[in-house]
Amino acid sequence: MEFTPIIGLEVHVQLLTKSKLFCGCPNLFNPDNPNVQTCPVCIGLPGSLPVMNQEALRLSQKTAMALNLNLANFTKWDRKQYYYPDLPKAYQISQFDLPFSYDGWVEVTLPSSGETTKVRLIRAHLEEDAGKNMHDESGRGGDSKVDLNRTGTPLLEIVSEPDIRCAEEARVFLEELRLLLRYIEVSDCNMQEGSMRCDANVNLHVHEDGEKIPTPIVEVKNLNSFRGVEAAIEYEIKRQVKAWETDRKRIGDVPKETRGWDADRGQTFAQRGKEDAADYRYFPDPDLVPVTTTDEQLEAIRATLCVFPADRRKSYVNDLGLSEYDASVIVDQGREYADYFDEVTSVCGDGKQAANWLTQDVQRELNDRKIEIAEFSISAAVLGSVLQKIVKGDITIKSGREVFAELLKQSDDGTTVSAESVDAIIADKGLGKEQDTGKIDAAIQAVIDNERNAKAVEDVRGGKQQAVGPLIGQVMRELKGADAGSVRQMIIDKLTS
């Protein structure tokens, strides 16, 4: 059986505003104190009137720019009617036919193949979130509870075209989307807290007798982890293959189905038939006026954008000569980490040296201390000054690590370290170029004097310079971090002069 998976994603992202979308209640994750962040507006009491949160729209427009979406100067609010216990008004204020943004794209690169694809976006629209239902799923009965703290939270829905062709691509798309939204500081995208959720629409195009036959579409709801998205899509593709082989139903033969994901069992399960747009009985919200945004206002928002992760990766590879792997490691750690790297590189003048230190020495300390780069006690300017001395040949890499260790020790003791601290440590520990040269010279002499190296020494003296390799290796083992080229030349000079 030949088939092509057809996958589209609907991603819901809670925005980082101080208050909710249409009222002044705080927008905070607060699962331990249910139903305390509510007011007559967000729980839909009669006579209450919504007022739009301008910051929510600004963050949404900022996101649209980062996602290459077209922005509308005119948009409006619509009521989406449906009843559910976590929706106290029995309708959701959303956007239907005139969303604020449309027709965008996100570029993703698959780690397994290195292939880059472009996933098109149909739209991004702004709406209010519903509350949260909590059910006893033990099978022993029990009460269901509703927490309305989340009701009315600003929610950005990003809808992709069905351009995704495998579960891995869906996961990578979501990872890239989360990274981008965190870079531009519109959401924390914390999937464990529900501030980023995903629905996956999945069906197959079966290739049979020269015909492309679409199977019924299934929507897998409320996936709350990247691994969950990938696993659910993989399972659903296999399930739909078996369904086609059994009943051969095409799209339109049965209503669109909504399914849930059971992570413990690793399988999807049927929930209900999916409503169409007509079932929601959309109509313009009579309590909210349409919103007009000028080109000047949009340009002011665009001026606040940072360099995006994808552009940063390309710059690190093309301009600094980093490997694609190292560039991704740095960028994927987040905006503050990449900013730190940029400053280190600017000070020391060597991106590869900066990348090596950040991905090894600095990252090791961050992991050991369980901290983020913003909490690291050695500033980018100070680390850059250490690496600058290595780049200039004033100290060796080994000496640089001694300076780094002493800087950490001093900062742990409560001392604020600076570029002057670097110079003081080098002087106090005798790590300057003259002292290092003396150490290298002493190590070389010890290797030459070692009887086991007598033949290699004689070969080098006789003009066989390839015999110098084992001698270099012994010196480098003794002086970790010394420059191999300098050691090689010093050995040859000593043995041939």
Q: Kindly state whether residues 241 and 387 are assigned to the same domain.
A: no
Average pLDDT over residues 176-205: 96
Report the pLDDT value the prediction gives residue 224, as an integer from 0 to 100: 87
pLDDT in tens, 97-112: 999 999 999 999 998 8
445 and 357, same domain (yes or no): no
Residue 428: band (very low, low, confident or very high) from pLDDT cuts 50, 70, 90: confident
Residues 102 and 216 in one domain: yes
Structure tokens at 387: 């690496």
Question: What pLDDT, on a 0 to 100 scale, did the predictor assign at position 484?
Answer: 74
Residue among 338, 335, 17 at smallest CA distance from 187: 17
**pLDDT tens-digit series, residues 245-265:** 999 999 989 988 999 999 999
Identify whether residues 156 and 244 lie together within a single domain. Answer: yes
Same structural domain for residues 186 and 335? Answer: no
Average pLDDT for residues 436-440, to the nearest whole number? Answer: 70
- Mean local confidence (pLDDT), 186-200: 95
Judgement on whether residues 443 and 425 belong to the same structural domain of the protein: no
Q: Do 425 and 440 sit in the same domain of this protein?
A: no
The tokens for 111 are 């780690």
Read off the pTM: 0.85
| Interval 451-479 mean pLDDT | 82
163 and 230, same domain (yes or no) = yes
Counting the structural domains of the chain, the total is 3
Q: Which of 247, 263, 298 is the last residue of a domain?
A: 298
Q: Which residue has the higher pLDDT, 469 or 380?
A: 380
User: Residues 6 or more apart from 57 whose CB is under 8 A from it?
Assistant: 100, 126, 291, 293
Q: What is the pLDDT of residues 284-312, one digit of tens each?
A: 999 999 999 999 999 999 999 999 999 99
Q: Out of 264, 298, 332, pick the residue that ends a domain.
A: 298
What is the chain's mean pLDDT, rounded? 92
- Helix ranges (DSSP H) in 20-85: 54-66
Q: In whole angstroms, what is the distance from residue 185 CA to residue 107 CA?
A: 20
Are 378 and 463 within one domain? Answer: no
pLDDT score recorded for residue 496: 80
- Domain containing 220 equals 2-298
Verify that 276 and 354 share a domain, yes or no: no
Same domain, 475 and 403: no
Please give the radius of gyration of the chain, using alpha carbons only, rounded to the nearest integer: 30
Indicate the residue among 298, 318, 333 that finishes a domain: 298
Q: Please tell me whether residues 213 and 334 are part of one structural domain.
A: no
